[in-house]
């Protein structure tokens, strides 16, 4: 004689997870009240919420942005560390690959911008900023240190995308400055190429100067830093002060676009147009230099 309850009846009353119907779930979402299995539970201020409610709340919550329009990114400055990693990898490859092949492929010299003596390869104006001198290890060490120091300050303020755009345009600005302020290649005259992130770093100097000024901060230390590094470019041979100046101007222009664009729903679009205008101005200056 059996006094048990038929097995079919309790199984019909067991709550199951809507996303995983084969899993009994006795914990319910604090927001919608539906059962949620352990894989679908997300810790809330009180109890748990299901993953669907959490995703819905994230979509409904406005994205937090910095005063300069960039998305707030918590944690480490990933773009800064990414640029440092690329420079480090290429520096190692410069040592490992023979015949100076990395420089021959990615380096920039005025011969590459002069159609009469070499193929026009404008991408070198950017790629050269990721290479560094093999004969002077402090070249990459100091550049990466300054990138790390200024990147940690600027990347959270501007947002990752805007900071990356600032860095890349400043790098191009450094190469354009070198192109404008040095003679084009002529047969029989020694040719000096330019490599290094110094132009882009000076762009960060100029950007920080504009940002500090916009925020009402003290800029005296920045002026001293820029002056010292600028003088070094004239005192120590084989340092391309022209690239430093070009990067400083380009970075300052980019920062002016980012800092002084009015806030609003069209802020990002206006900033993108402004940065594109700076890039177009650099391209025009380079084109005029090599064609006139």
CB neighbourhood size of 112 (10 A): 23
Neighbouring residues of 258: CB distance < 8 A, sequence distance ≥ 6:
68, 69, 158, 162, 166, 207, 271, 274, 275
Distances (CA, A) of 56 to 27, 60, 207, 292: 19, 6, 38, 59
Residue found by looking up tokens 């002069």 in the block = 114
CA-to-CA distance for 66 and 82, rounded, in angstroms? 21
Q: Among this protein's residues, is 198 annotated catalytic?
A: yes
Q: Which of 25, 132, 175, 244 is catalytic?
A: 244
Query: Long-range CB contacts (< 8 A, 24+ apart) of 119-122?
Result: 120/290, 122/283, 122/286
Active site residue 214: no
Q: What is the C-alpha separation between 254 and 257, in angstroms, rounded? A: 5
**In the structure encoding, which two tokens stand for residue 45, read together?**
């201020």
In the set 25, 170, 175, 198, the catalytic residue is: 198
For CA atoms 209, 214, 215, 220, give the dihedral sign: positive
Q: Is 34 strand, coil or helix? A: coil
H or E, element range at 69: none
What is the distance between the alpha carbons of residues 134 and 139, in angstroms, rounded to a whole number? 8
**Residues with active-site annotation:** 198, 244
């Amino acid at each position: 004689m059996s006094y048990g309850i038929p097995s079919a009846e309790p199984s019909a009353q067991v709550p199951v997870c809507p996303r995983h119907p084969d899993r009994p779930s006795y914990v319910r979402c604090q927001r919608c009240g539906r059962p949620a299995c352990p894989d679908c539970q997300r810790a809330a201020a009180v109890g748990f919420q299901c993953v669907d409610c959490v995703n819905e709340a994230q979509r409904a919550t406005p994205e937090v942005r910095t005063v300069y329009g960039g998305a707030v990114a918590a944690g480490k400055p990933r773009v800064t560390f990414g640029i440092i990693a690329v420079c480090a990898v290429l520096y190692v490859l410069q040592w490992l690959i023979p015949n100076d092949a990395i420089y021959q492929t990615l380096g920039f010299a005025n011969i590459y911008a002069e159609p009469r003596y070499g193929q026009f390869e404008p991408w070198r104006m950017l790629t050269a900023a990721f290479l560094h001198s093999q004969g002077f290890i402090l070249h990459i060490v100091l550049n990466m240190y300054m990138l790390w120091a200024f990147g940690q300050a600027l990347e959270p303020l501007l947002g990752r995308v805007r900071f990356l755009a600032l860095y890349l345009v400043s790098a191009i600005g450094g190469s354009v400055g070198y192109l404008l302020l040095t003679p084009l290649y002529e047969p029989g005259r020694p040719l000096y190429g330019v490599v290094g992130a110094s132009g882009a770093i000076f762009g960060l100097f100029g950007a920080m100067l504009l940002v500090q000024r916009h925020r009402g901060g003290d800029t005296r230390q920045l002026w001293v830093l820029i002056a010292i590094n600028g003088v070094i470019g004239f005192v120590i041979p084989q340092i391309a002060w022209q690239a430093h100046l070009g990067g400083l101007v380009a970075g300052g222009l980019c920062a002016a676009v980012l800092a002084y664009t009015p806030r609003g729903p069209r802020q990002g679009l206006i900033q993108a147009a402004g940065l594109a205008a700076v890039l177009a101005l650099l391209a025009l200056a380079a084109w005029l230099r090599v064609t006139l």
